[in-house]
Structure formats: C-alpha cells, structure tokens
A and B are shown apart, each in its own frame.
Chain A
Amino acid sequence: MFPQFLKGIRFADLTWAGAGPFSTKLFSDFGAEIIKVESGSRVDPVRAGGPFRDGIAGINRSGYFASRNTGKKSLAMNLKSRKSRDILYDIIRTSDVVSNNFGPGAMERLGLGYDEVKAIKPDIIYLSMPMYGEDGPLASLLGVGMTISAVTGLMWQTGYQGEGPIGPGTHFPDHAANPYHAAFAIMAALRHRRATGRGLKIDLSQVESTINCMGLPFLEYALTGQERERMGNRSPFHAPHNIFACAGADDWCAIAVETDRQWQALCQVTGLSELAADPALAHAQGRLQQVERIEQAVTQWTRQHGAKDVMARLQAEGVPAGMVMNSRHLMEEDDQLRHRGYWQTLDHPEIGESQFTSPPFLLDGERVNLRRPPLLGEHSEDLLQQLLGYSAAQVQALRDDGVLE
C-alpha cells in the first residue's frame, strides 16, 4: 500500500548525509511532500559516496542515497545565491516543517535561522540536529556517527573482553537513534501545532538523543557508581550467552540462554548430558562461574553444524538462538524476511532495478510501498512553476543565472 496518512504536509528539507534524510524519508513514505533542497555544486556527500550500480560512480547512482531518500522531490539550487534564498522563502511560506542537520550556525549563514524562518512562517516546525546541540562549549566539535558513539559511552562499552573499546562497526546512531527520535519529535510538534496553533523549534543534539539509547547501562552506573567492563558477547546475568563458531568458514550462531529450562533444553539438543546433570550448573549463577567450560562444550557441538542448522535445532526446543547474518544472508537466504516480503524492488532511471528494505513493520497486514528516490534537481522546474507559480521564462532565467543547478 501507499499510505497517504501525511498527505498535505510539506517539508522544506535541507538535511543531507545520513541521519537527517533517514528521518524525513519516513514522512515521504507516508505521503508527505518532502522537498529535498540540495545543491549540485556542494552535493550531498551520500550521493557522492556510493555504493554505485555496478561500481560506476555517478551523482544519481548511489544506492546509499537512494535508500535514504525514497519518495522525495529534489530541488537543486546554489544555496549561496540571494535568489535561491528568496525561492526557499517562498517554499517555506507553504511548508509545515523546515529540517536540517548542519552544524550550528550554518542555517543562519544561509539566512535560514529559526528567527528568520519564523518571521516568514510563524507556525513553522523547525528541526535542527547538530551533533552536540546548538549551543555550549563543544557545540562546534565536528563529528560523524562514530564520534557520537565515542562520546556517549556506546563505543567504550562495545568491545571484546579484556581488550580496548571498538564501538559499532557502522555510524550506528545515524541509522536509528537520531533519525527516529527526530521523526517522533516532528510528529509531536505537528500534533501540538494542530491543538494550539503554535509551531515549535526542535533542537536535537545527536549526543543527547543517543545517550537515551544507552539509558540502561547509564542508569545502572548512576545507581551503583560502578561501570561494567566490556564483556564481548557475554552477559553479566546469563550463561551461556555468546556467539559461537559453526561448521562453515566465518559461520556463526548466537546462543542466549536466559532460563534454567532453556539450559536443560540446550544440553539435550547438544547431547551435553554431563553438564545437564551437574547441579552446579543448574542455575545462572553457577553457569556464570564456569562459563568457559560451558562455552567450550557448546562450541564443540556448534563446530559440527552449520549456523542455520544450529539455530533451527535450538529454536525448535525453545532455546534463543540466531545465525549471525550478513547482507548476503539477509537478502538471499533469510526465510523470515522473504516470507514477510521485506525486500522491495524499485526501478530507477540510472540505477535500474534495485532492492530496498521496507519500513520494518507491516501496516494492516501489508507492506508500506516505497517510491523511487529523485534525480538531482528532478523536480526543480515543476516545483517552481506549479507550487510557486513561476513562469517558464522565469525558471529559464534562474537556470541561466546559475541559481538552479
């Protein structure tokens, strides 16, 4: 289905790179009109970053860009030109939301600070999402998603036991914590405006957002004054709880026993009757004390079976187990995602047919269908003529002047 729940809501969307566009994509997928205001001379780094269809670079060929910008319209302008600012003001007058994820001060330099925008559209909802927030002694610290992991405790806590911090292998906070806190805040602001007539400014510090996602270990620290050491894939409360090597090369299955009943079931499936009968291992506390002995025994068994087989055998007896999937496994081998129709194929003028992840839920039993991402500047002329009422001659003049890119 193509839900139109947000039809009639318009964004003047200046977000770029990862976290910002992933947030506004949710709105276009539900029928809002997202006008992606971009520049051909200072191009969205994700357009330039790839991966590209067949590895051949091109401004409209990036799969990364495609995955973050489904269903949006692209207006490409030289944002430093005075005329482009006037166009943007005209768009903002008809918009509900202005969104950006630049560093502090960048929007002001473009003449698009909150006060200026509010002056031309008093009930605007204005989202900023700089790394460390808009003001304060570290507000100008430059960062990427991994920097956010670093300063929030996520990187410190993520790593192998007895070794240094590693952190997530991706710019993790860019891909969930920050875009979806932002989306939730925008929906709240829309609702607030509907009830009160007032717009809101949203200052989303990506660090402050991400620390909420470290709320569980943070609160434990706040209550006890003790910070746990890195534990790899183990748990301080449950055993066995780890990722186990299986029969293939780079073939892994996670096993997470959380109850004594699951422990007995694990022993039964793996044939570890000696361990099952050992009263010292009957409860978690005892298993934690002998975790290496248990893990060795379990590994001897998992080494004899493929990860998918390990998962299926253990899950059949109610033991939490999951193969560690890579992108190929997910796309080609995972029965669950295939069954639920998770992968969507979209055609695109330059990328051709490619695969997209669906929004991670079924809505009334169906998938939310996506619409393809825009080419750079694909909608510039339409938007100026149909939304703003410019004449074809005016649009051509803007193009000749280098305002449209």
Chain B
Amino acid sequence: MSLDRTAQNKDCRIKTAPIDVSPSRQIAIVMSTQTLRPYTGIRIIDLTRELGAYATRLFADLGAEVIRVESKQGRADRQNPPGVAGLDPHRFGGVPYAFLNANKKSLTLDLATAAGQNVLADLVSHAQIVVYEAGAQADVALADLLAVPGARIVTSVSYFGLTGPYSQYVGTDLIAQSLGGIAWLSGEPDKPPLQLAGQQSVFVTSLYAAAATAIALWDLEATGHGHVLDVSAQEAIAHSLQNAIQVYDLEKRVSSRGGEGVRDATEAAYACKDGYVFLAAPLALPASWNGIIQWMTEEGFEGVSRLHEADWADRATRCKAAMRSEFKLLFERFVANKTKQEMRDNALKRKLVMAPVSKLADLQDDPQLVYRQYFQQVSMAGLDHPVAFPGAPYRLSEPLWQIERGAPALGQDSEAVLAGLAASQKTAGGQA
C-alpha cells in the first residue's frame, strides 16, 4: 500500500502552502519569522478518540491547526470519564477530553449524509496530515480518507494495527498494557500483574505516532510523497519494555514482576515518616550505596553492620527476594522518623539516587517545578476559572510551545473553519 501520488501532485510544497486564508491566518502569513511556530501553516484533520489524541495535541501546541471533525452528536471521546463537575460532557467533554484536546478546533458535520462526507473530503484535501483512530466507534472509513486525491500523511492509530488476527479485537488501556507486555513486568511476584496508572498506552502510542508522523511530513515536504502510517498500541508497548525482549532472546530468561533475579534489593519505594521515598542503591551506583552506608554510620544506626557482610557485596545475591525483604525492613527502620523533605535534602547532599514518592497533590509544591514555573493556567470552555495543566514537555529557547486555548466545545469552530475552507477553495479556483 503506497500513497505515492507524485504523478498527481508534483510539487507538494506549493500545494501545501498555507491554505487557511481566514483573517487570523492572513495575519499569520505576513508574520515575520520571529513569530513563526514550527507547525504554523500545517492543517491536521483529527479523527482520534483516545489513543491518538495526544499525538495531534503535540502538533497543536507548536502551531498546527488541528481540526476535530465530529458528528453532530459529538465524538465518543467527549464522554470518557471522569466528567467535569457542572459541565455537560456532550458539549464540553470530560477530563480526558479536556487534557488531550487543548489547542484544537471542533467542527461538526452530518457525516451520515453525502453532503457532510463531501465537506470532510474537502477538508482532507486541504490538509497535510490526517490522524485517524480505527475501531467500531470510528465515524468514517479509513478507505474514504485514503481515496481523497492529493499527497499527505495519513496516520492510523489502533490497539493492534489495521492487519492481522487481532485487528478486529476490542482494546482498552488495560488490554493494551496486557497484550503489550508491560503489565507482566509490574507488580509483585505473588500477586497478579499490574497496570500502570494514567492510561499509559494512550501516551506511548501517541508519542510514537507523533514522532513518526513528523518524520513522514518532513519527507512529504521534501519529495511530495504521501505516506500511510499504521501505528499499533500493542507494538508500541512491546517496543518499550526496557531490556526484557533482549533478556529473553539472548539469555532465555523471562523478566518478571518484582524484578526477581534482575533488580537490586535496594531499588524500591520505602515508607518513611510522612509518606514514601524511592531509593536506588545497587552496586552499579556506588556513590548511592556508599552514601547510604556512610549516612547510617554517621547516625550510629546499628543495622549498618549487616550491610558490610559478604552477601551484600555480591551483585547476583542482592537480586534475590530474601535480600529485598531484608533490606526493606532494615531501611524502613532507618527512615521511620525521617520526612520526605529530609530524605530529599540528604539525597542532594550525599549524591544518593533517592527521591520522594510524590502524590499528584504534591506536584504543584515541588520546589523545582515551582522554580521553573512549570504548570500552566488554562481557560477551559464552560468554566469561569483557569485550571492548572502540566506545562511544556520540553523547553525550547524560543516561545514556540503554547497552550492558547482549552479544548473546544462541540462545533465551536464550525463557522470559522468552513468559511476558511470556502475562501481557500475560491482562491484555489481563482488560481486554476
């Protein structure tokens, strides 16, 4: 399958030049390069629900015009729980929607009619990128999008990919974490495998999709060749299993939860006076291990003598469950009267690999994040007060990353987008 349509579209760079000639975009066109953002002038048709929504947000945060095309009833992802108190999810969406769709626009179409489908095709024909989420809830068929003439990037995201025996399987985050292999690696040996919090398969899939889409766009702009990406959440998770694949392939050992036989006895979360701290003090991090011993010695902690015995000098022995249990008891005794802040201060002073296990409630008071003014206050449609959002995932030396608006209300941008489309068609017609 190739979308190489160079015969139809020999100079893509001209064809895909800024296409939205709405007043705001006209201003953008004449802006000096001082205000150009990395994806200014790129239009993305967003047909994602959950797995791909963060991918398009990454582009929107850097200036792309990302247009959610939704049915009149609104796309299913607006209903993803939890809801936002006091807001109608149909119109404003719930919490996941609010986070994943900031900076985007919403256009509603009656996709059940030929007229609606024609408008969608027009929008696609004026877009450089389409991100499509496959599955039973999809409002349109991928084949219809691929049939629209012109060269562009069409990125499909799905739980298992568009082909193969699982392609019709129904996925969720838990299912992807299970079939991808990360759940197996998490948790404790005598208990079930454990899902990671926060819908991580959504983010892993979207991050791979976004990076690959950006690279494919680079090629489109250089050569005029369109591309189709078929991103699988299962594959994305399986690609991110640390070294578990290689451990099995080369040494025929199956990595398992609890790190039995792999992870040092000192790598875990430990209870302290007011919460938990994470420590890593394996022999491979000698400053951390020696620093802990030194600290215990300075405080006259009697348990330290045990850590001088020979079995603690042997890397393989230290990876055994009994050592893990013993260290936990010993270390938790040492830190039982120490606060998370004291532990962090000592980590800095003694160069230990150790940090508090933060609650979400702690993040806005994290001194580093406060110093770097990390969190952003965002106005959300329907709310009369701004809400804290995580800030930029990377800092650029120019102010190119911005959250300019919260996630759009249903159909909020329909008129403006359609007016822009009509104007660009008129312009294109005039040039023809």
Of A138, A146, A181, which is within 8 A of B394 by CB? A181
In the complex, A179→B312 CA distance in Å?
34
A156 partner residues in chain B, CB cutoff 8 A: 276, 357-360
B254 close to A136 (CB less than 8 A): no
Inter-chain contact A222/B389, CB cutoff 8 Å: yes
The CA of A212 and the CA of B204, in the complex, are separated in Å by: 11
Chain A 221-244 interface mask (CB, 8 Å, partner B; 1/0): 111100100101101110001110
A392 in the interface (beta carbon within 8 A)? no
Q: Which residues of A contact B306 (CB under 8 A)?
A: none
How far does the alpha carbon of A327 sit from the alpha carbon of B164 in the complex, in Å? 20
A364 and B235 contact, Cβ closer than 8 Å, known pairs A320-B175, A339-B163: no
| B191 interface contact, C-beta 8 A | yes
* Given A156-B358, A169-B257, A170-B185: A209 touches B394 (CB 8 Å cut-off): yes
B130 within 8 A of A: no
| Residue B81, interface by CB 8 Å | yes
B372 touching A205 by the CB < 8 A rule?
yes
- Range, interface on chain B: 35 or more
Q: Which of A150, A188, A227 contacts B357 (CB 8 A)?
A: A150
Q: Is the interface of B mostly helix, strand, loop or mixed?
A: mixed
B215 touching A30, Cβ below 8 Å: yes
Question: Which of B194, B210, B361, B366 is the one whose CB lies under 8 Å from A232?
Answer: B194
Return the contact of B218 from the options A191, A195, A212 (Cβ within 8 A): A191
A interface secondary structure, majority = mixed
| A233 and B250 contact, Cβ closer than 8 Å, known pairs A323-B178, A360-B236 | no
The answer to the question of B209 belonging to the interface, with a C-beta cut-off of 8 Å to chain A, is yes
Bound form: Cα–Cα A159–B81 in Å: 21
Query: Could you say which of B94-102, B318-326, B411-419, B422-430 contacts chain A?
Result: B94-102
Give the contacts of B185-217 with A (CB-CB under 8 A).
185-188, 191-200, 202-205, 207-212, 214-216
CB distance from A96 to the nearest CB of B (A): 12
Residues of A151-179 at the interface with B, using a CB-CB cut-off of 8 Å, are 151-160, 164-172, 174-177
State the CA gap A140–B361 with chains docked (Å).
Answer: 23
Which positions 282-337 of chain B face chain A at CB distance < 8 Å? 284-285, 287-288
Q: Which residue from chain B places its CB closest to the CB of A29 in the assembled complex?
A: B215
Which of B230, B287, B396 touches A202 (beta carbons < 8 Å)?
B396
Distance between Cα atoms of A114 and B179 in the complex (Å): 42
The answer to whether B246 and A354 touch across the interface, beta carbons within 8 angstroms, is yes
A182 at the interface (CB under 8 A from B): yes
Complex Cα distance, B152 from A193, in Å, reads 22
- Known contacts: A157-B198, A209-B393, A335-B166. The answer to whether A196 contacts B357 by CB under 8 A is no
| B28 interfacial by beta-carbon distance below 8 Å | no
Q: Is B111 an interface residue (CB 8 A)?
A: no
Considering the complex, give the chain B residue whose CB is closest to the CB of A224: B85
Which among A182, A245, A364 is the interface contact of B1 at CB below 8 angstroms?
A: A364
**Chain A contacts to B: CB under 8 angstroms:** 3, 5-6, 18, 26, 30, 45, 49-55, 62-64, 66-67, 132-133, 135-144, 146-147, 149-160, 164-172, 174-177, 180-185, 187-192, 195-198, 200-205, 207-209, 211-224, 227, 230, 232-233, 235-237, 241-243, 245, 252-254, 256, 258, 262, 315, 318-331, 334-337, 339-340, 342, 351, 354-355, 357-365
